[in-house]
Structure 1
């Protein structure tokens, strides 16, 4: 799916952007999200909806985890044997003030578990994150290439004593940070150990963005695998799903059984998102 140049861009810069969903699919997914929120009486102005979990499921958009092009690109980046892991829907109304500080995705990891080797050119990070907006999305900023090195001088200055996340209003701005403005239906695949942030100021329009994570069975899990709460996937729930979605979740369950240590990763992740995306 990816050209040699695109694979090299991902390796060196930490991200690559490709078209993923056509306009009809984008419209169908966005309508399904609004209907699901209305039917469940959800009123949160900003929320993170884990759409594969019972009670939070949005059946129409679940099929995205099986989308052949997305999985093929993930395989180009990680290797064959792709397993779905993260599956969230970021939702925010127009008028929400959305600002995060610059960070690597380490907020959930205890200090003693952080290994400086993670941020080096020869580390095999067996995970890729994917943002697929259903609306125009200007929120993702990234420092290209920063996943391959420790913090530089400018980054150390703004991070100060907290290596996880810089203050939202930290100055001066990172000169090497770039804004990735995505159109509906595009997908950005990125290494979440790159320095990045979600930042838009006051949103001019609603934001609906699908957020996925993929892992490869060819390699050991790294500390972001284990996002889905597989304990909720009862036989009854799995039987109610579309066949391809059910198969994808069964593959996830089997991979979790091979690597029970990732249950701790799951606990760290849930603790983090419960604070970061509370209903407002």
Structure 2
């Protein structure tokens, strides 16, 4: 399977596209039970091979030294790419891939935030949070177990923080304290194994499970369209690690997806600054394994 850069029939209805634009998220069934089981087995095998006993981890599975080979082909899934084309346009390019693993009993809490955490305050542009902004990025959570950890304030990507949100965010556009008050507009998104939630990461949202009752395994992806200028998120993958030797070791479809990423990155040197900020953020603010 390869990524096609040509127009293909849409999979979303106009109502679904309108709902994504207005509400900021969309849920679609993507994987069947056999595919979910295959990916869970790949995660478990990788953990055994690594001797990984961490009860919680966020693994960048397309990076050398952290790769989960049996999971990587999810970035080439035709149904995922078709939804992204309907939301963003043709020329879909992978630009973010991590796997969250958490054992039952861990305490998982984030504060409400927009995904501009890696951007210096003075570079955060309020126009990003408006109806006029040309959003060219979509994030996707693909759970392999039942997952109710994504919370979102529908429609908040289209506006500035309201009075209630400003009370808990204070003078930043980035993140509210973990122990801040609840938001009355917050909605919990519960997704079943094999379903995916596609969402606008400029919406006010959070990852929150409290003390997990069950194990959580969720694949997290980000996509960009080459038909429009990039947002500050393009450049999440650490392309500097994609050597010829590493790329040649990958499955052909995964290698081609990363080649397209490298080609697109080379077209937009202006995102190098944001790439550097994001790598700093991963290393200091959001520990990964």
Note whether the superposition's TM-score is higher than 0.5: yes
Aligned mate of 1:137, from 147, 150, 154: 147
RMSD: 1.2
Residues 1:204 and 2:183 aligned together: no
The answer for the alignment partner of 2:185 in structure 1 is 176
The answer for the alignment partner of 1:244 in structure 2 is 253
Structure 1 gaps, min length 5: none
C-alpha distance 203-79 of structure 1, shift in aligned 2 (>3 A): same
The answer for the alignment partner of 2:159 in structure 1 is 149
| Contact 2:149 2:207 survives alignment (8 Å) | yes
The answer for the alignment partner of 1:272 in structure 2 is 281
Equivalent-residue separation in structure 2 for 1:217 and 1:166 (angstroms)? 33
TM-score, normalisation: structure 1: 0.97
Q: Runs ≥4 in structure 1, deviation > 6 angstroms?
A: none
Task: Quote the offset at 1:279 in angstroms.
Answer: 6.1
The answer for the alignment partner of 2:89 in structure 1 is 79
| Contact 1:133 1:184 survives alignment (8 Å) | yes
Alignment deviations for residues 142-200 of structure 1 (CA, whole Å, 9 cap, x no partner): 000000000001101111233311111112x2111100001011000000000000001
Task: Quote the offset at 1:29 in angstroms.
Answer: 0.4
Structure 2 gaps, min length 5: 1-10
Residues 1:90 and 2:100 aligned together: yes
| Contact 1:44 1:279 survives alignment (8 Å) | no
Query: How do 1:1-280 and structure 2 match up within 5 A?
Result: 1-171=11-181, 173-278=182-287
Aligned length in residues: 279
Equivalent-residue separation in structure 1 for 2:286 and 2:200 (angstroms)? 21
Task: Quote the offset at 1:62 in angstroms.
Answer: 0.7
Equivalent-residue separation in structure 2 for 1:252 and 1:133 (angstroms)? 24
Task: Quote the offset at 1:261 in angstroms.
Answer: 2.0
Task: Quote the offset at 1:230 in angstroms.
Answer: 1.1
Equivalent-residue separation in structure 2 for 1:49 and 1:267 (angstroms)? 19
Task: Quote the offset at 1:273 in angstroms.
Answer: 2.4
| Contact 2:121 2:172 survives alignment (8 Å) | no
SS in 2 for 1:104: coil
| Contact 1:45 1:279 survives alignment (8 Å) | no
Query: Which moved further from structure 2: 31-40 or 126-135?
Result: 31-40
Query: Which moved further from structure 2: 152-161 or 12-21?
Result: 152-161
Equivalent-residue separation in structure 1 for 2:52 and 2:280 (angstroms)? 21
C-alpha distance 277-31 of structure 1, shift in aligned 2 (>3 A): farther
